[in-house]
Amino acid sequence: MVMVKLNSLLFIVLVFGCLYGAAQEISGLVLDSKTREPITGASVYYDGSAVGTITDLDGNFQIPALLGSNAVLVIRHLGYKTRKLVPLQGKSLLRIVLSEEAESLDEIIVTADPFSRKQKLKVFRLEFLGDTKGGKNSSIVNEEDVRLFFNTYNNTLTAHSERPLIVQNDYLGYRISFEIEQFKIYFKSTSLKRIDNIFHTVYEGSAQFFDVASRNYKVKKRRENAYEGSRMHFMRSCWNGNLHRQNFELRKKFKNIPTSELFVVKNDSLEEFRNIQFLGEQFVIYHRKKGYYRSTLNIQKPETVFSLDRYGGCTPFKELVFGGYMADYRIGDMLPIDYGL
Average pLDDT, the chain: 87
Confidence of residue 61 (pLDDT cuts 50, 70, 90): very high
> 88 versus 54: which is more confidently predicted?
54
* Structure confidence by residue, pLDDT tens digits, 211-261: 999 889 999 999 999 999 999 999 999 999 999 999 999 999 989 999 999
- Bridge partners (DSSP) of residue 80 are 100
Highest mean pLDDT among 68-82, 224-238, 283-297, 309-323: 224-238
pLDDT interval class at 103 (50, 70, 90): low
Q: What is the distance between the terminal CA atoms of the chain, rounded to a whole angstrom?
A: 16
The candidate with the shortest Cα–Cα distance to 326, out of 245, 255, 235, 247, is 235
Residue 10 scores a pLDDT above 50: no
Least confident of 13-17, 77-81, 165-169, 240-244: 13-17
Structural domains for the chain: 25-98 (2.60.40.1120), 227-333 (no CATH)
Residue 70 is predicted with a pLDDT of: 82
Q: Say how far apart CA 82 and CA 75 lie, in whole Å.
A: 6
User: Would you place residue 88 in the very low, low, confident or very high pLDDT band (cuts 50, 70, 90)?
Assistant: low
User: Using 50, 70 and 90 to split pLDDT, how confident is the model at 8?
Assistant: very low
Strands 93-98 and 25-32 come out as parallel
Closest Cα partner for 104 from 123, 87, 81? 81
Whether 65 shows a pLDDT value over 50: the answer reads: yes
The answer to whether 30 touches 42, Cβ cutoff 8 Å, is yes
Please confirm whether the linkage preceding 316 is cis (ω < 30° from 0): yes
Compute the distance between CA of residue 203 and CA of residue 183 in angstroms, rounded to an integer: 4
Q: Say which amino acid occupies 73.
A: L
Predicted confidence (pLDDT) per residue in 227-237, tens digit: 999 999 999 99
pLDDT digits (tens, 9 = 90+) for 172-193: 999 999 999 999 999 999 999 9
Q: How do strand 282-287 and strand 273-278 relate by DSSP bridges?
A: unpaired
User: Model pTM?
Assistant: 0.85
Q: Would you say residue 49 has pLDDT above 60?
A: yes
